[in-house]
Chain A
Amino acid sequence: MTLSTRDRLLTWCGLLLALLIVLRPVNSPELWWHLSCGREVIDGTFSPSQQLLLLDQSADSNWGGGLVFYVIWSIGGMFALATWPIVAALGLLWLVRKKVPADWSLLQSFTLLAVALVAIRPGLQPVPAVFDLVGLLCMPLIERQCQSSRSRLIATFLLGAAWATLGPRPLWGLLWLLLQFGKTPETTKPEASPLGSVMALLLGGCLTPRGIWTWYDALVNTVPTVFDSGQIGDSQAWSTLSLLSSFPVEAWALLVLLVAALVQLFRTAKRVVPELASVFVPLLLALICRDNVPLAACWISMWYLQLSSQIKVGTSSSSANDESKGSRESPVSLWGWRLAFSGTVGLLLVDASGLLTAPGQRLGWGIAQEIDPRLLDLPDNSRDEEPLIAWVPDERSAGLVVWQDVGVVLVDHPRRAVLSGRLPMHRQFARDLQEARRAQYRLENGEWAGWVVQATEWKLQLLCVPVEDEPLNTSLTKSTWQRVDLDSPTIPYASTDTQKFAAAVSLTLQLQGFVETGPWRPDKSVYDSMGWRYDVIELLGMGPEPGPAVRQSQAFRSLDLPFAGLRALNVVRGESSHPALQREFTRCQEAMAYQEWTTFGAAGEFRRHVVQSVMNGKQESSPWLQSYEDDEPIERWEPALSLYLAGDTEAARDALKSNQPQAIYARAMLALEVGDTRRALREFDVLLDDDTANLPPGLHVAAQFWSNQIGQLEQ
């Protein structure tokens, strides 16, 4: 094998590894918000937030970030947006290709670059945050490429202006420059003056409509958790990174990088404190806000490469020096790197399979279902002069709503609200909605709260709540707000105080009855991506992506339609065993048992056994799971129970042969679950023909109820 062939082969291996890491559907919750901002800029404003939000009166600092991606969308559509992370990752690798020390083995290079890419991956989405990465990469580039102090100042000034206009967090550049004060003089160029560069970046950053306030915005965007927890309802706009809460895969990758960097540092550096700051400042920023993880990883990676290059320089310039000789030797043997590489590839394969990550994050390409704006049906108000005012608790919903462009103005956006200190007001509003408090009531601090007054003040007519915020969705189900869409990742609620939405509300109510007790038999087509997603894992025959089914089930369950939730899950349950799917299945079963107990006075025996099985007896003391004297032992329900838990509902129904009332009821419920309403009716009729006294508690009531529900729908 010639050297060039080997290089080519290795290049392809590297590319494949990179693809394995970054080939994911775009899922940034900010995507559509920034594209909408870009659209507003094209329409002639430098303050898009003012146009899109009711409460926002301040100018946008990074007004141009969305514009770039809106132009890309306009030219290349979904294809261009979905390809962006791959292009960005390849560009990143191209930039660092010559920075990898020559004495690194290939396995070492691949391992460390793969880990870095995993940590940086969330920052490669087609949203303005990617410009923060670009800006940070440009900092050492300017230092290296600009030969004179004057050209360096000009370049830094221009970078500051561009970064502040495009990216939300130019503060990272400032921190980078400030830490140059701590660098050893030997490594800096002559006439280098970090103070001048700092001033140039600061001045350049002020060239936005926000002026000097750009830096305040940058500070808030970098460390929003210092100003507000970011929680509205159950939606978390941003959060700190903590081992106690969920620790995402990119955070683990950052930790690995950190350990590698520290090992390298203690082997080489003479001035440990300033160099330690170069590692711990980005790390602390990542801990303060997990959005900073990609930038921290990028920073630590650059610093690590720089440090490794210094070893090389040091060893080649003073080969006689014994200390340098010692540092030249890698602390990890070749076998060690082989092991590390194999482990990394194994973990990357697991990551790509999506088994251990949240749904929607496995190998694939396109736009993730949870941010697919085509799924959201809003009432079209574009011909009305008065805009519809909508309130949203999260970024994703904000983007999906404004992107529709149907004459809707949002009350606020979490990222904009934190800049002006409005988030506590929205948090209180969400809590009032969730806990159905009265129009106005007194708080412990003497102030008054209450959602009705606030909604009247805003002239609110729409609420759009993410499916995942179950407490808020559950509360709204029993309120004067009614859903006008059932299958969107963000659920729109219309006010029933106006006739405007009567038709949409009425239609949705009819659909609710249909999906719960009608002959609804969903198949995989209900989760069809309509050309916007390609799931590699599914194409490889390893089961469908569970995310859409889980979200649909959540939407139904929060609407007190657990049966519809089960139907939505059944589409994928037989082919996937993702933990999120199992969790949702368990919740639906528990909700079903609870609903039967509250509505009829007792839950069916089969249902109770199912819940006990999936919950491993955790809820045995709950009254809705209590057993009755005439219950049969669980063994009698096998194999129907096993078949049902394995996802084969029809086979489970056929396996129930007994003519005991509880078995008939279970057969009827399973028939209903698969949408076979006629067979369910026949089974319920058998129960209704029986003498009530012969039936277990609540069974006659339940049969009568379901029979009536199905009958009404058939009429």
Chain B
Amino acid sequence: MTSTPRQPTSYSRLAQGFIPWLLLCGCALGLWRAQDVAATPSPQPALHASQNALELERRCAECHVDVTDQFATAPHAQTLLRVSEANLMSSLANREFVHPKTGVPYKLESAGEELHIASPAYGREAAVAWCFGSGHHARTPLITWRDPDGALASIEPLVTWFPDNTLDVTPGMEKLEETYSVFAMGVLHPPQETTGCFGCHVTHLPLEEGRISFDGIQPGVRCARCHTDLERHVSDMDAGRDTTIERFSQLSPHESVFRCGECHRRASEMGAKPSPQDTSLIRFASVGLVESSCFLNQGDVQLSNGETARLDCTTCHSPHSATDTDWRTHVAACIKCHDENHTDLVHCPQAGNEANCLPCHMPKVPQNSHLSFTDHWIRIRDHLPSPEGDAPER
């Protein structure tokens, strides 16, 4: 074999000129693409990403003023307030509370825009800027601060305001009996839990690198929180297209309760399978409801108008207004199925169809001396709840 130099053909000359450039360009493109991929953010939760919730809500009022006016007074709309609001500060500030079991005193005082909570059990006056709860059941102030990373941490204080204008132990903290340190003040929530607290009491919660930014916060659960396709609806309207908004009644009952359960809890979030013996579940209506026979078997029942029976949260509760307190409104929903046309369904031997089903099948269970929750796990009970909230089951 000789080693004489090979003469380049036209094909190899073309390749010599073309391939190095091609590879260089390919690698440069790859580098550009890699930078692009690294800079592409993952999709954010809608709650944190939506920037124009306030503007969208203004647009809602243009066409649905009756609903938006009514909704402004609904508990959902008032579930988070700045403590500086006049009526709130006057009901909380300059008051004292002594824990009935531990004897630890707490003093609530106004300090400019904030409320301060002080106690000899804790070495500093803790500042409150926000108050959680609509006031229909209770209002709990939240002590907040920024941690070393700038994230918002909080203490859910042991003291809560109730509609009878008394201060008492926050529901769920009845067994906290510490007499010193932060544990005597309430429950410490790290940043991710604090974000969760705010997350259920707002329509829009801006996050900057995972930290709550109060500049664009939209307190209260308002239109855009539940009507997830609001932006599309408004844009269709503006474009003159036929459009309608997603309604909960169009969702499956399970999906509908699931949506409410994002804040009111879902059975799938409770870890172990929910049990009627677990009285802590009474606070979480959406968990009990989906475990009820009425909910589980609704698809098997045909109403007299030929439609399939339907039970979800909106069957009894209009999310646009305060809960109707007339029991007849709620019992009407029961009677749709439990009437003389449905002989195969359970009939109550204790009462006629026009009687109030709720005290026996959805009783109110006292949480403390100020507050009761309706047990939404609809079922037949041997015993009704005692005033202390202890409901033995069969």
Contacts and interface: CB of A to CB of B under 8 A. Distances in A.
Interface of A: 147-148, 175, 178-179, 181-183, 185-186, 188-192, 194-195, 223, 225-229, 239-240, 271, 273-274, 276-278, 280-281, 284-285, 287-289, 424, 427-428, 431, 434-447, 449, 452-453, 456, 474-475, 478, 480, 496-497, 590-591, 594, 597-602, 619, 622-623, 692, 697-702, 704-705
Given A240-B38, A598-B182, A698-B122, A442 B45 contact: yes
Contacts of A436: 192-193, 195-196
Contact of B188 (A229, A443, A598): A598
A431 B42 CA distance: 10
A705 B120 CA distance: 14
Interface residues of B, number: 63
Contact of A438 (B7, B122, B210, B262): B262
Contacts of B42: 424, 427-428, 431
A178 B19 contact: yes
B153 A598 contact: yes
A497 B268 CA distance: 12
Interface in B130-178: 145, 147-148, 153
B298 to A, nearest CB: 22
A449 B45 contact: yes
B148 A622 contact: yes
Contacts of B122: 600-601, 698, 701
11 contacts: A175-B23, A226-B33, A229-B38, A240-B31, A273-B17, A273-B20, A444-B45, A447-B43, A601-B126, A692-B120, A701-B123
B5 interface: yes
A441 B50 CA distance: 14
Contacts of A287: 31
Contacts of B27: 280-281, 284-285, 288
Contacts of A452: 268-269
B20 A600 contact: no
A700 B31 CA distance: 60
Interface of B: 1-8, 12, 15-17, 19-21, 23-24, 27-28, 30-31, 33-35, 37-38, 40, 42-47, 49-50, 120-124, 126, 145, 147-148, 153, 180-182, 188, 190, 192-193, 195-196, 210, 228, 258, 262, 266, 268-269, 271-272
Contacts of B34: 223, 225-226, 240, 288-289
Contacts of B37: 225-229
Contacts of B180: 700-701, 704-705
Contact of A284 (B2, B24, B44, B46): B24
Contacts of A431: 42
**Residue from the set B8, B28, B31, B182 with the largest chain A CB neighbour count within 10 Å:** B31
Contacts of A179: 19-20, 23
Contacts of A186: 5
Contacts of A447: 43
A190 B1 contact: yes
A188 B262 contact: no
Contacts of B272: 497
A443 B44 CA distance: 6
Given A190-B2, A229-B37, A441-B47, 19 more contacts: A178-B19, A178-B23, A179-B23, A185-B6, A185-B12, A240-B35, A273-B17, A273-B21, A281-B24, A436-B192, A436-B195, A438-B196, A452-B269, A594-B148, A601-B122, A602-B123, A602-B124, A701-B180, A701-B181
A285 B269 CA distance: 45
Nearest to A441: B45
B46 A226 contact: no
Contacts of A698: 122-124
B124 A697 contact: yes
A229 B2 CA distance: 51
Contacts of A285: 27, 30
Contact of A444 (B24, B28, B44): B44
Given A190-B4, A698-B122, A181 B181 contact: no
B196 A437 contact: yes
Contacts of B12: 181, 185
A277 B262 contact: no
Nearest to A193: B12
Contacts of B123: 600-602, 697-699, 701-702
